[in-house]
Amino acid sequence: MIEIKNLRKAFGDLVVLDGIDIKVEDGQSVVVMGKSGQGKSVLLKLITRLLYPDSGKIFIDGDDLLKLSSRQLDACRLKFGMLFQSAALFDSLNICDNVGIGLKAYNRFSDEEIDEITQDSLQSVGLIDVGDKYPSQLSGGMRKRVGLARVVAMKPKYILYDEPTTGLDPVTSAQIAELIKEMQDHLNVTSIIVTHDIPTGFFLADQVALLDKGNFSFVGSVEEMKHSELESVQDFISGYNEEVDLKRTQAR
């Protein structure tokens, strides 16, 4: 379980997060929505302690993240996988090496085991026979799949997604969302998904949290959000067309 209490983060005079609270239960998929610049990606960096908060608490499975030693923090981070907005692949490495890089760094697997896990992970995201290719030879959607395969290879307990469909066309976005859903169900992981893509967020969410002006103005189910009369919710979903979303879902 991930629990965040009264978390604050500012950059100079710009207050990004102003005392947020949220609890993510094991096996749950929480989608954090909000307009650009609201601090969604900052939240993910705080959860993995790539950034340090100004105040507040972050608990990972009951452990206070901010009090962990370097060794304890390394062990805690092994519970996490992250799909970055850009997929964050290494251009100089082929696809197999990109997927297996975390396994090699872990230094607990033989080359044969790494190769087997890598191939299984690529197959799980629908990519076969691309292991010898390089990121520049793949489409944006395929690179996102490789990034997800790299996450899957490490068998994390928690997966964090930073705008997983940004820069993709609607059809590819729907395919990536479907793949993420399949991975969640298959791996039984706990997920935090940051997105401003409303159809993708609604498709993936067990719970939605809307980040607005430094805090969560709404936390609840998709249906509760659709029928919420809160001004911040109505402002955010004003352009959302459920009929179009249904057609998109059926196209999957």
CA angle 31-240-185, nearest 5°? 35
Residue given tokens 């085991």 in the structure block: 113
Q: What is the pLDDT of residue 247?
A: 44
pLDDT tens sequence across 222-238: 999 999 999 999 999 98
Q: Compute, in degrees rounded to 10, the torsion defined by CA atoms 121, 84, 241, 209.
A: 110
Instruction: Name the 3-class secondary structure at 115.
Output: helix
How many whole angstroms separate alpha carbon 2 and alpha carbon 59? 6
Select from 22, 2, 29 the least CA-distant residue to 211.
22
CA 146 → CA 14, 117, 157, 163, 238, distances in Å? 35, 13, 19, 15, 34
Per the CB < 8 A criterion, the answer to whether 201 and 195 are in contact is yes
Q: What is the pLDDT of residue 228?
A: 95
- pLDDT under 70: residue ranges of the chain: 239, 241-252
User: Residue 211 corresponds to which tokens in the numbers above?
Assistant: 């980040």
Q: What is the pLDDT of residue 246?
A: 42
Select from 12, 129, 157, 34 the least CA-distant residue to 20.
34
Select from 93, 200, 99, 206 the least CA-distant residue to 155.
99
Q: Could you list the residue range(s) of the whole structural domain that residue 110 is in?
A: 2-251
Here the CATH number for the domain that contains residue 34 is 3.40.50.300
How many whole angstroms separate alpha carbon 181 and alpha carbon 101? 24
The β-bridge partners of 193 are 31, 161
Total domains in the chain come to 1
The β-bridge partners of 5 are 57
Q: What is the pLDDT of residue 167?
A: 86
- Count of other CB atoms within 10 angstroms of residue 213: 12
User: Residue 63 corresponds to which tokens in the numbers above?
Assistant: 């452990």
Q: Does this model's pTM top 0.75?
A: yes
Which run of H or of E encompasses 159? Answer: strand 158-162
Give the max Cα distance, the chain.
Answer: 56
